[in-house]
Amino acid sequence: MSTLTTPDAVRARAAELDAADPLAGYRERFVPMGEGRGAEAGEVLAYLDGNSLGRPLKAAGEALDRIVREAWGTRLIRSWDEQWMDLPLRLGDRVGEVALGAAPGQVVVADSTTVMIYKFLRAGLEAARTADPARRQIVVDTENFPTDRYIAEGIAAECDAELVWIEPDPATGVTVDEVREAVGPATAVVLLSHVAYKSAWIADLPGITRAVHEAGALVLWDLCHSAGVIPVDLDAHEVDLAVGCTYKYLNGGPGAPAFGYVAARHQASMRQPIQGWMGHAEPFRMGPGYEPSPGMRRFISGTPPVLGMVPLGEMVELLAEAGMPAVTAKAADLTAFVVEVAEGLLARHGVRVDSPADPARRGGHITLGHPDSRELTARLWEAGVVPDFRNPDGIRIGMSPLSTSFAEVAEGLLVLDGLLAGRG
């Protein structure tokens, strides 16, 4: 039973946690949320949506200014030869090293998450069917993010493939046993999210990957809600394919390009379906036919979004400096604090915790359930507290460990308490 049943207790606990936080100093690296004029002036009191869009680093603005003045402003097109052509691969290697547990030569930064999932799912399906024509099934779950489900539906229609649906408990997520029941000799690819976007359930990535491989199939992991906050260790667990966005915990900014991982053992056998000139073995030959580049370059299609990679590069270096273990530990402390407040102060208003109780099974956010969540979220925004709403009745509290203090979380939850008590 939580002892955090009063605002004073909540604030005291937050102060205690902030005083012991080894990452507290990193908050100063981010652009301030306002100038102290208050919520009435549109300022943010508590930003609790870092798992949707991470806050910008001060260094990101400086780096963007620098590239405009120098690499783009003075070097102009020469910068393609000097640094930009290999940027998707160089930055991909760094993302792989710092956040994904991936050796060099297996990660590329390019395109949106939607496009990357399409390319990798389609490539995996074709590779599996080429090896065994009987493999024509794509396994996906009903609780996955809409993009993943929609892409799977579209590819199944395009390629005369069959969808096999797992229907997990929405309060938790897909389990190893559910995957074992869904896969078989006809399975080509299994597409799942590592961290569930609603409940924050962490799937058993090692166990599920093994179960898929035992069935002779490939697995494609969506890492959007784990990259940069939860360790994944792709190489160690022999993952086949993975895709993730970079604007959440990797703070790449709105529209920042996604990353994609293809295990080295699969690269030569996979033909990506969007054959653009940048993925050609000799892009400037501009010849009559397509010849894929060796390695991860073959998974690039069009011109890389150079400006969109700049903030990502800054955040990856900050993560490397802080260390992923410390970031993951603080994420666990932040979510535990939200649970404490929810089970103490907020429970009297009928608020429930819709995320796993076991800290080892939940990612970097907590979903709080309440019948009036949609209206409450709108009113929180008006008060300068920014979480997000998820159907059917969830308020998702997403905290980015390097930019979020416990005091900030406390003040946001106290505003919610006030609204529920009729004080807002």
**Which residues belong to the active site?**
145, 222, 247-248, 396
Residues in the chain: 424
Residue 62 bridge partners (DSSP): none
Question: How many Cα atoms are found within 13 Å in the side-chain-facing hemisphere of 418?
Answer: 13
Give Cβ neighbours of residue 35 (< 8 Å, ≥ 6 apart).
Answer: 43
Q: Show the DSSP H helices in 266-358 as ranges.
A: 306-322, 324-341
Coil, strand, or helix at residue 333?
helix
Query: Using CA atoms, how far apart are residues 341 and 394, in angstroms rounded to an integer?
Result: 16
Given its phi and psi angles, is residue 258 left (phi above 0), alpha (psi -120 to 50 degrees) or beta?
beta
Query: Using CA atoms, how far apart are residues 287 and 281, in angstroms rounded to an integer?
Result: 11
Residue 389 bridge partners (DSSP): 395
Token couple for 216 = 């002779």
Asked if residues 10 and 4 have their Cβ atoms less than 8 Å apart, the reply is yes
Query: Using CA atoms, how far apart are residues 419 and 410, in angstroms rounded to an integer?
Result: 14
Token couple for 232 = 């994944």
Number of DSSP helices (H) and strands (E) in the chain, helices first: 12, 13
Strand pairing category for 187-193 and 162-166: unpaired
Pick the closest to residue 91 from 316, 293, 264, 247 (CA basis).
Answer: 316
**Beta-carbon count within 10 A of 422 CB:** 7
How many angstroms separate the Cα of 252 from the Cα of each of 64, 171, 259, 396? 12, 29, 11, 21
Token couple for 13 = 């606990």
Token couple for 2 = 């939580």
Secondary element (H or E) of residue 218: strand 218-222
Asked if residues 65 and 57 have their Cβ atoms less than 8 Å apart, the reply is no
Q: Show the DSSP H helices in 323-421 as ranges.
A: 324-341, 373-382, 406-420
